[in-house]
Amino acid sequence: MGQTDLGINKMPRLNIITGCVLSIAGLVAIFLLIPLYISPQEVDRYVNSPQFFPYVSAAVFTLLSILFIIQNIFRIKRLEGVEKEESEENEALGFGWHETINLGIFAIGSAAYIFLMNIAGFVISSILLLAVSMYFAKVNKLWLAITSIAIPIFIQQLLWHTLAVSLP
């Protein structure tokens, strides 16, 4: 394994450019798209405006993009003195057979999850999804049981009691 074109110093710079583009997209959404295309409406005191969730999503998106930029600036500062050497970080990022198989498994699993959600509902299908995912991630079986049951029920209850949204 030798030095490749995507070296140790080029990836953080590429990530900074990506973060800048994503930050600009988030700011465009916040200051241009949401105000122009989602009309504010008079709502009751305990009901969110139609603009609320798009603003929250765009703000979180922009914040994460800025944090991505900052992380890679620190990475460049840390790697400035590092000489180019053979390591896993110097390998080219590729999409081979292993990644293709994983993508296929993910696509089939996602389709099965959506199909099961229509039949059994959010809680049951999410419990199964989390349990299978955590099993393949080799999570402790006690944590697997507790987490895969508790998280979907918690999400369902949280959405019901805070936003009055009933999940399927």
pLDDT one-digit tens code per residue, 133-162: 888 888 899 999 999 999 999 999 998 888
% pLDDT > 90, the chain: 42
Number of H helices, E strands in the chain: 6, 0
More confident of the two residues 47 and 34: 34
Dump pLDDT digits (tens) for 36-71. Answer: 988 887 777 777 788 888 999 999 999 999 999 999
Closest CA to 8 of 67, 68, 65, 72: 72
Average pLDDT for residues 25-36, to the nearest whole number? 94
**What is the C-alpha separation between 88 and 21, in angstroms, rounded?**
27
Is the CB of residue 1 less than 8 Å from the CB of residue 91? yes
Reported as a pLDDT band with limits 50, 70 and 90, residue 89 is low
Helices (DSSP H) in 29-79: which residue ranges?
34-37, 52-79
